[in-house]
Amino acid sequence: MTTEAPRTEPRNDWTREEIAALFDLPFTELVFRAAEVHRANHPANEVQLSTLLSIKTGGCAEDCGYCSQSASANSGVKATKLMDVQAVLQRAAQAADQGSTRFCMGAAWRNPKDRDMPAIIEMVKGVREMGMETCMTLGMLTPQQADMLSEAGLDYYNHNIDTSPERYGEITTTRTMEDRLDTLSNVRMAGINVCSGGIVGMGETREDRVGFIHTLATLPDHPQSVPVNALVPVKGTVLGDMLADTPLAKIDDVEFVRTVAVARITMPHSMVRLSAGRESMSEMTQAMCFMAGANSIFTGDKLLTAPNAGDDTDAAMFARLGIKPMAISETQAQVEASRMPKGCVKLEAAE
Ligand code: SAM
Ligand code: DTB
Ligand code: SF4
């Protein structure tokens, strides 16, 4: 259905106070406003589908407290070598058959080594030849590596800021938020679409969620894709164990939907991805997220190492909710429209 509401121009001068005021709105008011922004800027009942594959699992040198793949975690995830190119392409073909339009390849690296780049480039080229969009998440990139990926035709690079700048050092000690922002800048400068978001439910405060959204919404360009993950608590990780000991720290569904809604309002042209954690989320909470402007998901029964909802469950949910998978042409049109205009227009936030 089309809407009469005008398209919303993105702005990157959001203040923390404005973002906090959005979070503070009565719930139905916040979701209503987010739905208005969603409908004015995106097809309201279409959701983009991406499939993840872990191309190099575990043994990671970073110590991210949420991650099963960190060498410092005791999660039982086995470390593997980088997958063979042909095996990756086979998995991409299966994903395309299932209706996925983007193939996201993830490696548990602090950063790729130069010797890894030829195989990585072959993977990007091969997936693109199948007519799918490509996404990679390989850790920190140098400007040269970003340029190589861009030349190979990489469409998206995922690199999350995860949480607020204040909380960052409590989640990961082996790198800084500045390191993360530097890679995002290298990716943006190379002309690759940026995918950056974070995790909700790591025991953070509302103020941290405000700081997290503020950091993304004040980047020079809004990320074209903003994944909002709900922490998947994995036994043997710092945060998984902390959550098991303090169940009250678990994020409530209303606060999760609020975070999605505020992301939608502050970054109106971005695709907002309802990411990890759907497997343990009710269909109604997911429906509220779609109402609040989430318009992409990961499909299949596995994320990188953690379980995901699965294609049959999602097909049934889409049928019940009347949601249609978004075509690549539509996704590309949305992304083209997301480029930040020169001299951002300031719109009023919550009164
Ligand atoms: N090593 C690369 C990196 O850190 O950018 C790529 C892989 S990493 C697993 C990708 C993202 O998945 C992380 O930035 C984090 O936001 C998310 N993630 C990892 N483990 C998670 C968990 N247990 N629950 C929710 N999200 C998680
Ligand atoms: C993102 O923000 N979420 C995805 C993707 N980017 C790479 C990864 C979620 C990982 C969930 C935990 C796991 O599978 O190990
Ligand atoms: Fe390594 Fe990425 Fe996991 Fe951090 S999130 S431990 S960088 S795989």
pLDDT digits (tens, 9 = 90+) for 18-71: 999 999 999 999 999 999 999 999 999 999 999 999 999 999 999 999 999 999
- Using the 8-state DSSP alphabet, how is residue 249 labeled? G
Q: At what angle do helices 143-152 and 177-189 cross, to 10 degrees?
A: 40
What burial class does residue 63 get, using C-beta atoms within 10 Å of its C-beta: 0-12 exposed, 13-18 middle, 19+ buried?
middle
Catalytic residue, chosen from 91, 102, 104, 209, is 104
- Residue keyed to tokens 């969009």: 133
What burial class does residue 310 get, using C-beta atoms within 10 Å of its C-beta: 0-12 exposed, 13-18 middle, 19+ buried?
middle
Please give the number of the atom of ligand 1 that sits closest to the Cα of 227: 16
> Which residues lie below 8 Å from residue 230, measured CB to CB, with a gap of 6+?
199, 200, 201, 251, 256, 275, 276, 277, 278, 280, 281
pLDDT of residue 244: 80
pLDDT digits (tens, 9 = 90+) for 72-81: 999 999 999 9
Please give the number of the atom of ligand 3 that sits closest to the Cα of 108: 8
Q: What percent of the chain has pLDDT above 90?
A: 85
Q: What is the SS3 assignment for 65?
A: coil
DSSP per residue, 124-169: HHHHHHTT-EEEEE-S---HHHHHHHHHHT--EEE---BS-TTTHH
User: Has 60 been annotated as catalytic?
Assistant: yes
**208 close to ligand 3 (CB < 6 Angstrom):** no
Catalytic residue, chosen from 11, 91, 102, 273, is 273
Mutation probe of ligand 2 site: the residue of 134, 229, 231, 281 with most atoms within 8 A of C-beta? 229
The protein residue with its alpha carbon nearest to ligand 1, atom 22, reads 232
Gap from CA of 207 to ligand 1 centroid (Å): 22
pLDDT band at 292 (very low <50, low <70, confident <90, very high): very high
pLDDT of residue 328: 86
- Using the 8-state DSSP alphabet, how is residue 347 labeled? -
User: Has 64 been annotated as catalytic?
Assistant: yes
pLDDT digits (tens, 9 = 90+) for 186-244: 999 999 999 999 999 999 999 999 999 999 999 999 999 999 999 999 999 999 998 88
Rounded to 5 degrees, φ, ψ at 46 are -120, 140
Q: Look at residue 246 and tell me whether its pLDDT is greater than 90.
A: no
What burial class does residue 342 get, using C-beta atoms within 10 Å of its C-beta: 0-12 exposed, 13-18 middle, 19+ buried?
exposed
Q: Look at residue 339 and tell me whether its pLDDT is greater than 70.
A: no
4-13, 38-47, 80-89, 165-174, range with the lowest pLDDT: 4-13
Q: Which ligand is nearest to the CA of 180?
A: 1
**65 close to ligand 1 (CB < 6 Angstrom):** no
Compute the half-sphere exposure of residue 348: CA atoms within 13 Å on the CB side of its CA. Answer: 3
Query: Could you tell me which residue, 255 or 247, shows the higher pLDDT?
Result: 255
Strands (E), the chain: 46-56, 102-107, 133-137, 156-158, 193-195, 198-200, 225-230, 271-274, 296-299, 324-325
**64 close to ligand 3 (CB < 6 Angstrom):** yes
Cα–Cα distances in Å, from 258 out to 31, 194, 228, 236, 346? 7, 23, 11, 29, 22
The two structure tokens encoding residue 51: 């499939």
Mutation probe of ligand 3 site: the residue of 55, 56, 69 with most atoms within 8 A of C-beta? 69
Q: Which ligand is nearest to the CA of 69?
A: 3
**Secondary structure of the chain: what % helix, strand, coil (to 5)?**
45, 15, 40
Q: Look at residue 351 and tell me whether its pLDDT is greater than 90.
A: no
**199 close to ligand 1 (CB < 6 Angstrom):** yes
**Average of per-residue pLDDT values in the chain:** 92
pLDDT band at 332 (very low <50, low <70, confident <90, very high): confident
**62 close to ligand 3 (CB < 6 Angstrom):** yes
| 54/104 Cα distance (integer angstroms) | 9
User: Has 264 been annotated as catalytic?
Assistant: no
pLDDT of residue 250: 72
pLDDT band at 340 (very low <50, low <70, confident <90, very high): low
pLDDT of residue 5: 62
Domains of the chain: 16-336 (3.20.20.70)
| 128/328 Cα distance (integer angstroms) | 12
The protein residue with its alpha carbon nearest to ligand 3, atom 4, reads 64
User: Has 289 been annotated as catalytic?
Assistant: no
pLDDT digits (tens, 9 = 90+) for 93-127: 999 998 899 999 999 999 999 999 999 999 999 99
73-76, long-range: CB within 8 Å, 24+ apart, which pairs? 73/234, 73/236, 73/237, 73/238, 74/236, 74/237, 75/234, 75/235, 75/236, 75/237, 75/240, 75/305, 76/236
> Would you say how long the chain is, in residues?
351
